[in-house]
Amino acid sequence: MAAAYAQPLSVLDIHLDRVARNYLLLKKKVQAEAAGGDCAAVVKADAYGLGAAEVSRALYKQSCRHFFVAHYGEALEVKEALQGLYGVADAPSIYVLNGPFGAPAADFAANGFIPVLNSPQDIDYWAQTGQGDKRPAALLHIDTGMNRLGLSGGEVEALAARGDLSRILDIRYVMSHLACADEKDHPKNAAQLELFKQLTARLGIAARYSFANSSGIFLGPAYHFDLARPGCALYGINPGTGENPMQGTVTLKARILQTRKIDRNGTVGYGATYSVSPPAICATVSTGYADGYLRSLTGRGTVVIGGKTCPVIGRVSMDSVVVDASALDAPPRPGDWAEIIGERQTVDAVAAQAGTIGYEILTSLGRRYRRNYTGG
C-alpha cells in the first residue's frame, strides 16, 4: 500500500488497438455493402477526448486516409502527428467541418487542409482564394434536416442556377449529416436520405458523396455512399440502441484516498444532502468534476471496487467523490483502485447515470489523469 503514495492518483488507459479494430469493423461494413466506399475517421475535439495525435497515427496505420476535425488548429495537430508516416502518394486528406474559419486562407491552402463549405458566404469566400487556374479544394455541405450547418434547399437551387460551381471550386465530396441515425426506425432517416438524393441531383455536378456518421453506417448500404464519417463508434460508443457492436476503448481508474468506518449518524459532502448511518464503510475516490466526473453523477453514479459496484453518495466534489463501499467483504484500503470506466462500466452506462451521452463523458475526460496509450 505504501507504494501507492509514489504513484499516479488516476490512470486513463487508452487502447489504440481497440480503436483500430473498431475502425476496421466499420470500414469492412462500408466496403462490403457499397463497392468502392471508403471510411474516414472523425477526430475532432481531440479525437473525442482520447488524443487526436495518437488516434490519428493509429488509424493512419490501418490505412485510414480521410480525417475530419472541426477547427483549423485541430487540423494542424493531426497533420503534425502524421508527418513522417507518409509520402506524397499516400498523403491523408484533412477536412475542417466548421469551415474555412480560424486562419488565413493561405494557411489552409499551404497545409492542404480542405474546409467544409457550409453556406453561400463560405462558397464565395473560398472560391476567391484560388490561385491562377487552380480551383480551391472543398467539401460542400447541404442541409437535409439538421438545420445546423449546410446549404438550404433554396440555396442549392440558387447555386445550381448559377451553374459555375465546378468551374470555381474543386468539390471533393458533397456531404450531409443525419439527425436521428441512432434511432434506426426514425422516419427522419429515410426523409433525409431522399432529400439528399434530390438536392444532389439538383446540384447537377459530377461528385462523390459523404452521408453517414457512425450510426448512419448501421442504417444499411443505401446510407453509405462514397465516404462514411464515423466518430463515436471508433471510440466504443454504441452507435445504436441494441447490443453494442463496438469495443470500449478507455479504462479509467482512480485511487481511494481514504476509507471511513461510519460509527454515528451523519451526512456526506457539500450541502449535507446525503445521510449516512452505521454500519457503513465510505471510500473517498480521487476523481471529481474537474476531471470530467460530472457533477450530475451525484446520487446516480457508481464505481467498481474489488469487483463490487459502489454507489456515489453525496455531491461530487471538484477533486473527489465519496462512495459507499459497505458491500465489500473487507473494507478497501487507501491506494486501492476504483474503476470509473472499463469492463464493468461502459462509457454509455456512465453517460446514462449522468443523464447525458457517451460523447460528453469522453470529451470531458480531464487533464489530470495519467494517460497511458497501449496497442499503438
**C-alpha pair distances (Å), 48 with each of 10, 155, 181, 240, 360:** 19, 32, 19, 18, 8
Answer left, alpha or beta for residue 106, where phi above 0 means left and psi between -120 and 50 means alpha: alpha
Say how far apart CA 39 and CA 23 lie, in whole Å.
Answer: 8
72 among known catalytic residues: no
Instruction: Enumerate binding residues for ligand PLP (CB under 6 A).
Output: 42, 44, 97, 177, 213-215, 229-233
Smallest distance, Å, CB 34 to ligand PLP? 17
Q: How far, in Å, CA of 22 to CA of 41, rounded?
A: 11
Nearer to ligand PLP, 42 or 323 (CB): 42
Helix, strand, coil tally for the chain in percent (to 5): 35, 25, 40
Copy the grid coordinates of residue 332.
478497501
341 and 266 Cβ atoms separated by less than 8 Å = no
Q: Is residue 270 among the annotated active site residues?
A: yes
Closer CB to ligand PLP, residue 200 or residue 213? Answer: 213
Q: Which residue is nearest to ligand PLP (CB)?
A: 231
Of the listed 28, 86, 134, 270, which one is catalytic? 270
Find the shortest distance in angstroms from Cβ 302 to ligand PLP: 25
Residue tagged active-site, from 44, 72, 223, 235: 44
DSSP 3-state of 269:
coil
Q: Which is nearer to ligand PLP, 81 or 96 (CB)?
A: 96
Residue 180 CB, shortest distance to ligand PLP, in Å, is 11
Distance CA 114, CA 96 (A): 6
Q: Which residue, 22 or 215, is less far from ligand PLP as judged by CB?
A: 215
Q: How far is the CB of 273 from ligand PLP (least distance, A)?
A: 35
**What are the residue numbers of the active site?**
44, 270
